[in-house]
Amino acid sequence: MQQPVTLTQSGDPETDRLSPEAILGDRVERAHALLAQVEARWRYLLDNLDTPLGALRSDVVASLLGEFAVGLKQRTETQAAETLFRPVQDGSVRIS
């Protein structure tokens, strides 16, 4: 997935003299890390859509979904038989 980054000329002679690494810093690595987090979150949701809320491990939900699962903890206690599909469908769990 990692390909070399090619930058076009900016028109600023000072900037154009800099290497891509000097311009980008750690942004490429941070972008790859963010994409990996998003992929893990989507994979978890896809793999668990039919899982009852009561069966979801709260520590896993918190680490993978974090702020995207506001209110899900309470629902896991009050609507334990409901599957993860319902909060995803009604927007209680944001997926993007």
pLDDT digits (tens, 9 = 90+) for 54-73: 898 877 887 777 877 777 87
CA dist., res. 28 & res. 44, Å (int) = 24
Tokens matching residue 24 = 């980008």
Tokens matching residue 38 = 């998003």
CA dist., res. 30 & res. 27, Å (int) = 5
pLDDT of residue 60: 80
Global confidence as pTM:
0.71
pLDDT of residue 3: 73
Tokens matching residue 46 = 């896809």
pLDDT digits (tens, 9 = 90+) for 4-34: 777 777 788 888 888 878 888 898 899 999 9
